[in-house]
Amino acid sequence: MNFTLFVTALSTGILFVAVVTILAKLISPRSFNEQKEEPYECGIPTRGRSWMQFRIGYYLFAILFLMFDVETMFLYPWAIVMSELGPNGLYCVLFFLFVLVLGLAYAWKKGALKWQ
């Protein structure tokens, strides 16, 4: 039943966008113009391509995010049962968290968190 509802919600999104786009294309006016098809960069003619090399800083943060997010995902199963595990389970996980914080501290010291 849950899966059916998930599929329903997904198809709601897809149907909504598809139907409204078709409606908008049907009722909206249409005109053709050389200037209109240019990318809008505040009236200045575009120089070069836009699909070019991009600064590495964004990817660095993406990799850091991937690392930490996967590690937080590992903590969720522990969080569910933590009231039953009691202090013993906490000490085991504190070691895991220590490694996690060590990773953040290393990235910080290496200057990965600095935007330049």
Q: Does 56 bind other proteins (CB under 8 A)?
A: no
C-alpha–C-alpha distance, residues 54 and 63, integer Å: 15
DSSP 28: S
Instruction: Dig out the tokens for 18 from the structure.
Output: 């598809």
Q: Does 106 bind other proteins (CB under 8 A)?
A: no
Task: For the chain, state the CA radius of gyration.
Answer: 25
Q: Does 103 bind other proteins (CB under 8 A)?
A: no
**Candidate list 45, 53, 56, 86; residue touching other proteins; CB under 8 A:** 86
Residues in the chain: 116
Closest to 96 (Cα-Cα) out of 113, 112, 73, 65 = 73
**Candidate list 10, 92, 96, 106; residue touching other proteins; CB under 8 A:** 10
**Candidate list 45, 56, 109, 115; residue touching other proteins; CB under 8 A:** 115
Residue type, 72: T
C-alpha–C-alpha distance, residues 41 and 87, integer Å: 59
**Candidate list 45, 53, 56, 76; residue touching other proteins; CB under 8 A:** 76
Give contact residues for other proteins (rule: CB under 8 A): 2, 4-6, 8-18, 20-21, 23-25, 27-31, 36-42, 46, 49-51, 54, 57-58, 61-62, 64-65, 68-69, 72-73, 75-76, 79-87, 89-90, 93-94, 97, 100-101, 104, 108, 113-115
